Structures are given as C-alpha cells and as structure tokens.
Structure 1
Amino acid sequence: MTHDDTSSREQGSRRIAVGLALFAAAVFLSFIIRQWMASS
C-alpha cells in the first residue's frame, strides 16, 4: 500500500463527512424554518 492510496482514502472519507455535515445542516435549517413559519 502506497502513501497515495491512504491519502486518497482519507480525502474520500473527508468528502463524505463534509457531505453528511452539509446534509444535516440543511435538514436542521429546514426544520427550524418550518417551526418558525408555523409559529408566525
């Protein structure tokens, strides 16, 4: 196993983590906006 393989795998997992974080943030924001629209 070369150093490039490990770095590419780490980069891929980091990209997946960023994607999940953005997805969670979008769901969280949509939930807050929905609650805010319902209360107003």
Structure 2
Amino acid sequence: MLKWQENGYIKLIEDNEIAFSFIPEKLPSKEKLIEESLNFK
C-alpha cells in the first residue's frame, strides 16, 4: 500500500486505524496494477 501511495493511487488516512481512499483519476488499468503487484519486491 505504501508503494501505491507513493504512486499517487491512494491516500492513506491514519486515525485510530489506518484507512485509505482511492484517487480514481490516478489509478492505472487493472492489468497495470496486477503487473506492478507481481513485480513488487
């Protein structure tokens, strides 16, 4: 999730618990997200 935050796809909101919100206009295609997730180290 931190990588997605770095890429601007989501915004992490830290309160009593951590929540997140998507930023739809910055989200890439589903295929790109899967590719990035599979290549994450």
Same fold at TM > 0.5: no
TM-score (norm 2): 0.30
Which structure has the highest strand share of the two?
2
TM-score (norm 1): 0.31
Larger relative contact order, structure 1 or 2 (CA cutoff 8 Å, min sep 6): 2
The structure that has the greater radius of gyration is 1
